[in-house]
Structure 1
Amino acid sequence: MKKLVLITFVLSVVWSLSAQDKVLAIRDNLMQEGNNSVLVVSHRADWRNAPENSLQAIKNCIEMGVDMVEIDLKKTKDGHLILMHDKTIDRTTTGKGRPEDFTLEELRNLRLRSGANHKTAHVIPTFEEVMQLCKGKIMVNVDKGYDYFDEAYAILEKTGTTQQCIMKSSLPYERVKAEHGDILQKMIFMPVVVLDKENAEEVIDGYMTHMKPTAYELVFSKDTPEVRRLIEKVRNSGARIFINSLWPELCGGHDDDRAVEQGQPDESWGWIVGQGAKLIQTDRPVHLIEYLKAKGLHN
């Protein structure tokens, strides 16, 4: 009996270390200069096969080999951070109203809806539960969550996951520095820059001068010479590039549906890779991983 317990303990330790090695490998891949492989980011996790922003959707991403999941945060009436994209719970749950008008216990009595609007057995997870699930297995990209920056960081510290989470904002450097300057150097912060806006280069220059971010999320509705110039400028600074292929308006028409439904992956994902993107956020993670593997661009 003692031998069986010892074997079980050893296997548990080995699994824990191998899991931790996995997320460290993903992080190292992101941080290393000259590494040409591309990281796959799944939008709201695997929402096509499980409710968006659910634990099951994240588990699916871990199993399929996704590198990073994108999630969204809201806060309950009693101060808990939960996963929720919309300003209300109407679309994604069996309830109605704003999440901040409910306690966590009240929200736990609701059920998440599937993409087809059917009630499921899944409940709204807390941010802490998500980070415990993801710990050592997959990186996390907090999209709608800047309003809870300090509280989210406290949970990352509590769960020991500060090094596997990316926080971001479209605000200029000066404001982010003023509001959260004591935290910025303790984790990965990624500026979001809309390249179509007149002040796009000014925002980029502000971060380049004062912070030198690991990565920038670049958003653009059209594929123009000016957009390509700004992408090249960011790439030449040594920063990684994060591009969304979710729909045409985010990536100048080089989107997921063009890749999958129109059968033009080279004109969509291939074009994005050609711009030097290190991270691609997608609603088609399985297809994108297959495409990148075939090109020798995904570990």
Structure 2
Amino acid sequence: MNERTGTSTHQRWWRWVTLPVLLLSLYACGSSGAPEKGVVLKKQARKVSLIAHRGASGQAPENTLAAVKKALDTSCDYIEIDVHQSKDGQVVVIHDPTVDRTTTGTGRVADLTLAQLQALDAGIKHDSAFAGERIPTLAQVLRTVKGKKKLLIELKKGQEEYYQGLEENTLKTIRENRAEEWCVLQSFHDPILERIWKTDFVIPTHKLMLGKIPFLPIYIDHELKFGGFDRYSEATAINIHRYFASKAFISSLHNQGFKTFIYTENKPQNIVRLFELGADGVMTDYPELIKRP
């Protein structure tokens, strides 16, 4: 093989590997489209979990108390939320590192105090009926849920650098609200998980990723990584994008001792199918469409 051919082969291989990254990085937490009519889950021989993604975010503004309250009225087992940290060190519930998409404000969460963040309207962009909804703190969500559902908390990275103290402040808030038994922490970012594992943690953790490239020792979280999953032995689950949710990959995760929650699927029949493939949990924006027998 000459140098020219080798370069061409390498370029083709790299494009093949990075194509899913480029596509899924745009839609990593995206939903699977508009919902269909609801379904009743069949009785399962094993425990499966339905997770309300950012609360019942199809009905109410994502990551707000309104979405959390609507999720509490559904058959979901978990409510999933995202947390960032304000300029004054408060753990706040919002998905993006900036407030631009979901609120009436602009700027980075890390550059705004809690008072500035809660002065913004986090509901009106979803629907005028939710005008006046605010960015809640983690503590406010914990006091709203009160153990009626489990809470799956995703710790996010700041836009440019990691938040200093986010892990410790999240754990402290959970302890202060006596919520250790019904909270689970997850993240795409290994340094966040590693900082949690170095504490005296008793709260389960999940590793978030997009998925694994078939037949290669390559997986994708927020970037391409090489190797196996031994480094995540402290995690109880590895949660993956629906694009990678094959029966073979789910079985492989189970054989390595991990459970897996799949994100984010909004079509009820597809949710049923994911459970049939072996998923332990499925995240959806429309938990109200899934009924228990």
State the distance in 2 between where 1:274 and 1:136 align. 28
Query: Within 5 Å, which residues of 2 pair with 1:1-299?
Result: 36-114=46-124, 116=126, 118=128, 120-145=131-156, 147=163, 148-171=166-189, 178-183=194-199, 185-197=201-213, 198-200=217-219, 202-207=227-232, 210-211=233-234, 213-219=235-241, 221-222=243-244, 227-244=246-263, 246=264, 255-257=265-267, 259=268, 265=269, 268-287=270-289, 289-290=290-291, 293=292, 296=293
The answer to whether the Cα contact below 8 Å between 1:50 and 1:57 also exists between their aligned partners in 2 is yes
Does the C-alpha gap of structure 1 residues 195 and 55 become closer, same or farther in structure 2, counting only changes over 3 Å? same
The runs of 5 or more residues in structure 2 that have no matched partner are 1-43, 158-162, 220-225
* More helix by percentage: 1
CA distance in structure 1 between the partners assigned to 2:45 and 2:136 by the alignment: 34
Percent of matched pairs sharing the same residue: 24
Change (3 A) 1:72 1:153: same
TM-score (norm 1): 0.69
Contact 2:211 2:244 in 1 (8 A): no
Report the alpha carbon displacement of residue 171 of structure 1 after superposing the two structures with TM. Answer: 4.3
Task: Specify every segment of 5 or more residues in structure 1 that has no aligned partner in the other structure, as ranges.
Answer: 1-33, 247-254, 260-264
Higher RCO, 1 or 2 (CA under 8 Å, sep at least 6)?
2
2-side partners of 1:66 and 1:177: how far apart? 25
Q: Aligned in 2, Cα 1:127/1:46: closer, same or farther, shift over 3 Å?
A: same
Query: How many positions carry a matched residue from both structures?
Result: 233
Is the CA contact 1:108–1:124 (under 8 Å) kept in the aligned structure 2? yes
- The one-letter amino acid of 1:215's match is A
CA distance in 2, matches of 1:114, 1:36: 41
Amino acid at match of 2:230: D
Alignment TM-score, normalising by the size of structure 2: 0.70
Is the contact between residue 193 and residue 204 of structure 1 (CA under 8 Å) also seen in structure 2? no
Select between 233-242 and 178-187 the one with higher mean Cα deviation.
178-187
Aligned-pair Cα RMSD in Å: 2.6
Name the CA distance, whole Å, in 2 between partners of 1:236 and 1:129.
38
Which AA in structure 2 matches 1:63?
D
Please state how far the C-alpha of 1:61 moved relative to its aligned partner: 0.7
- 1:196 and 1:177 mapped to 2: Cα distance? 19
